[in-house]
Structure 1
Amino acid sequence: MRLVAPVSPPYTTCSFPILIQQDAGSLVLSIFGINHRTATLAEREPFQLSRREQGEAVLRFRRLAGVEETVILATCNRVEFYRADRGRGDHAREVVEFYRRRGVENPGRILELGYLHQGADAARHLFRVTAGLDSLLLGEEQIRGQVKDAYGAACAFGGPGKVLHKLFHHAFRVSKRIRSETLLGEGPRSIPGAAVDLLVGAGPENSRAVVVGADETTQVVLAALRRRGVPAVLINRSAHAAHRLAAEYGAEAALWDELPGRLAGADLLFSATGATERIIGPSLFAGGRERPILIADLAIPRDVD
């Protein structure tokens, strides 16, 4: 297991460890996780948690490890276990046990890929993450909403206490201040948005797009396609969700069974579902194509075989 010494971001506060001591006595703040810097996509996939799973995972991890406070952050590029407790357990080993009980093959692999932050270093790390300073795309805006969603999911299951409540709210303030007082927010705002720019720029004129899925990532893609004037067809297993989002972003909705036919006439494909198995494979293109199709797989686990 590697111990990472993070670089301090701007606008952190040296008073935070004192606030922890005042509010929670001897509670120790720590983070264990993996991200795009320490593990490849294939290495991260077995440890991924969907948004729907994050809240329940908080409850299970608290019961397993007996920790006072927990938040779990899982995005396309990271899975991190935040905790505040009295330092009785082994954070990393308890994460391994959590995944062993989930049925993950070789859960101990996460020890070789992971990093551990404690105390003030843990607080600084969350500030960097929330501000987009630790993202694959520097300064990306989507991560702040993802951190808020993870915090909200944990709150619904009683995960945070005084320490983590204070830590996460402070992180949101730090992120807002960084974005308002620096030029960080002037670049591409999200990885899905950057993917749209890349594929549209590389595709033919008058490209047509197929978008598969109906989550936050899909919404970013649809909004970016609309800004670029690219017509899009949205396909999702839930026809209701597809029609609702398509109407909101000026796209066309189609049924799941129409996917092969829609792909035949598309130049660009963006896929971001919550499927646990690959849903886009060679069989969907069995009829052959007269021109290439550019594909952006934005899902974790991956959608495209």
Structure 2
Amino acid sequence: MDATELLIKNNNLCRFNQFSSYYSSSLASFPSQARFFRNGMKIKRKTRSFTLNPKSQFVVDDIGSTSSSLSALELLKTSAADRYTKESSSVLVIGINFRTTPVEIREKLSIPEAQWPQAISELCGLHHIDEAAILSTCNRMEIYVVALSQHRGVKEVTEWMSKKSGVPTSELCRHRFLLYNKDATRHLFEVSSGLDSLVLGEGQILSQVKHVVNSGQGVSGFGRKISGMFKHAITAGKRVRTETSISTGSVSVSSAAVELAQMKLPQSSFANARVLVVGAGKMGKLVIKHLVAKGCTKMVVVNRTEDRVAAIREDFKDVEIVYRSLSEMFTCAADADVVFTCTASDAPLFLKKLVQTLPPASSDIGGRRLFIDISVPRNVESCVSDLETACIYNVDDLKEVVAATQEDRLQKAMEAQGIIWEEVIKFEAWKDSLETVPTIKKLRAYAERIRASELDKCMSKMGNEISKSQKKAIYDLSTGIVNKLLHGPMEHLRCGGTDNRSLGEILENMHALNRIFGLDTETSVLEEKIRSKMEKSQK
């Protein structure tokens, strides 16, 4: 295999036709005596165009040692690794939502909650992704990651999304949004608080953020930074709802769906309309709740099992709720004027060829059956709208309802932003303080190695004439000295919020200790992670 093939194979290195642009920076990282040789001929440093020869060797002349040689390919690996291991890791979000992307694309990218742990594992298997989380709802699909390199992380996640959904990367790039570090944190906190919802202030999203944390428990890729970010988002969401009135009288997607049905049906016929609800999960239960609030006293609920319907029936004892199995769905639809669909099915339940066989709806509503589909992926095939006997609305059509109540909440949202910003500052301080943890560990290990070595020398000189109690006293003495010496530096690396030290001062202390003791914490940690991922992928 020639050098060009090797370069192409290793997708973390520069492409062959870019090698000349990296040539100068590669030399700069080596001693001034460094020289390139090609077939025994010296190549001048200013040379801009040359052909990489598989037999090329890089020679480093080091005073007091014999010359050692590395292949040009190894030099390139070292240079490339050095380039991106000096880049600090970033928290970023790559997502789509109801504002940026139509439902026909969102449904392809939707990931069921049961598949979140597997998706996290797959994402963290990518070369430059260290931690990950998935937030997938009817209105958004957002991937939060800790990336060892921003550019490469975005590229890898976007390609993963494309492969998973079948949506071309060019199409994804048209619709996606990207946010980094503090902006990504603020976005998640706004999402959790209901400020980025279709219905401003809606409460269901906070529950969905909690599900992200619950599903991530025990998943190795749901790491400290990402899990801490989501847990803090829950705190922010709770504060906004407690300290402002943004959620007072707010509507959810489910209640907006019921209001939409009320708007589209003749005013006199809504109370007598025959209603079918397909799905008795969280969304279905909320639809039933809001139907009851609007005066509906009888409905049919189709679900896979009866236990959920029975539990709902207990909550609404004054309402006639009839359970039917999935096998009876089309029979029930034939007798319904309004059909709400809210299941987690990956495929449409109502196909055009089957819906066109249904008899017309009641003449009181004009003979057109109303389908309100709030599922993502959608439960009703889009071409059903071509039928004269059917009328379809999906989650994107709810904006018509939401617009009427949105203006009233904007002032409340301004109040919420102050709370969110306070929580962002707290989280960012905590997250940044984590940078000192590797330094603390390495400094402790460095001191411990010295202590153990000096203790062994002392014990060997004293021989076997000392007692166990004396040995313990000497051991305790060495440990006590190390602990007292480390106490000051350790305190100046910790960010507990109990003193007046700023985060900037703490990070300056970290960098100073790294230089003084030669710990090289950040670079070595990132380099180890990237190299480990590369080695695993090559096995």
TM-score (norm 2): 0.49
- Equivalent position of 1:254 in the other structure: 324
Matched-pair contact (CA < 8 Å) for 2:162–2:172: no
Structure 1: 5+ residue runs without aligned partners?
1-24
Alignment of 1:109 with 2:171, yes or no, is yes
Secondary structure of the residue aligned to 1:102 is helix
Q: For residues 233-256 of structure 1, what are the alpha-carbon distances to aligned partners after superposition, in whole Å with 9 as ceiling and x for unaligned?
A: 111234555555555555221022
1:235 pairs with 295, 298, 302, which one? 302
| Matched AA of 2:332 | R
1:292 aligns with 2:368: yes
Residue 287 of structure 2 is aligned to residue 221 of structure 1: yes
Q: How does 1:13-32 map to 2 (within 5 A)?
A: 26-32=88-94
* Distance across 2 between alignment mates of 1:269 and 1:141: 24
Cα contact 1:65–1:89 (8 A) shared by 2: no
- 1:66-123: CA deviations, max 9, x gaps? 5222111111111111112433662332123223443614244212211111111111
Which of residues 186, 193, 208 in structure 1 aligns to 2:274?
Answer: 208
Structure 2 match to 1:198:
260
Residues 139 and 187 in structure 1, CA contact (< 8 A), matched pair in contact too: no
Shift of 1:207: 2.5
CA distance in 1, matches of 2:256, 2:167: 33
| Greater Cα offset, 107-116 or 244-253 | 244-253
How many angstroms apart in 2 are the aligned matches of 1:166 and 1:28? 14
Q: 1:125-167 deviations in whole A, cap 9, x for unaligned?
A: 1111111111111111111111111222223423322212222
What is the alpha-carbon distance in structure 2 between the residues aligned to residue 246 and residue 107 of structure 1? 46
**How many residues were matched structurally?**
281
Work out the CA distance in 2 between the residues paired with 1:261 and 1:110: 40
Q: Where does 1:1-305 land on structure 2 (aligned, <5 Å)?
A: 26-87=88-149, 90-102=152-164, 104-200=166-262, 202-203=264-265, 204=269, 205-230=271-296, 231-246=298-313, 249=316, 251-282=321-352, 283-289=354-360, 290=362, 291-305=367-381
**How big is each residue's C-alpha offset from its partner over 1:256-285, in whole Å with a ceiling of 9 and x where there is no partner?**
222222222222211011222211134235
Q: Quick check: 1:264–1:285 contact (8 Å CA) kept in 2? A: no
Contact 2:128/2:148 (8 A) holds in 1: no
Q: TM-score of the superposition, structure 1-length normalised?
A: 0.83
CA distance in 1, matches of 2:232, 2:295: 39
Q: Distance in 2 between matches of 1:119 and 1:92?
A: 13
| Residue 148 to residue 112, structure 1, CA distance change in 2 (3 Å) | same
CA–CA distance in structure 2, aligned partners of residues 257 and 295 of structure 1: 19
3-state DSSP class of the match of 2:129? coil
1:202 to partner: Cα distance: 4.1
Which runs of structure 1 show a deviation greater than 3 angstroms over 4 or more consecutive aligned residues? 200-203, 237-250
What is the DSSP-based 3-state SS (H/G/I as helix, E as strand, rest coil) of the residue aligned with 1:184?
A: coil
Q: Secondary structure at the match of 2:247?
A: helix
Q: Which of the two has higher C-alpha Rg?
A: 2
Larger deviation, residues 127-136 vs 238-247 = 238-247
Deviation at 1:201? 5.0
C-alpha distance in 2 between matches for 1:303 and 1:72 = 22
Distance of 2:184 and 2:165 partners within structure 1: 28
CA separation of 1:158 and 1:215: change in aligned 2, threshold 3 A? farther
State the 1:300 CA deviation: 0.7
Cα distance 1:136–1:27, how it changes in 2: closer, same or farther (>3 A)? Answer: same
Report the RMSD for the aligned CA atoms in angstroms: 2.3
User: Residues 5-54 of structure 1, C-alpha deviation per residue, up to 9 Å, x if partnerless?
Assistant: xxxxxxxxxxxxxxxxxxxx944211111111111111222211112222
- Bigger drift between 117-126 and 86-95 goes to 86-95
What is the rounded CA distance, in whole Å, between the counterparts of 1:232 and 1:55 in structure 2? 36
Question: Would the aligned equivalents of 1:234 and 1:246 in 2 still touch at CA under 8 Å?
Answer: no
Change in Cα spacing, 1:38 to 1:202, as seen in structure 2 (3 Å) is closer
User: Does 1 or 2 have the higher relative contact order (CA < 8 Å, sep 6+)?
Assistant: 1
CA contact (8 A) 2:147 2:153 kept: no
Given that 1:140 and 1:185 are in contact with CA atoms closer than 8 Å, whether structure 2 keeps it comes out as: yes
Identify the structure with the greater helix proportion.
2
Partner Cα distance (2:380, 2:336) in 1: 16
Distance 1:82 1:210 in 2: 37
8 A contact 1:214–1:236 mirrored in 2: yes
Q: Once structures 1 and 2 are overlaid, which stretch shifts more, 284-293 or 209-218?
A: 284-293
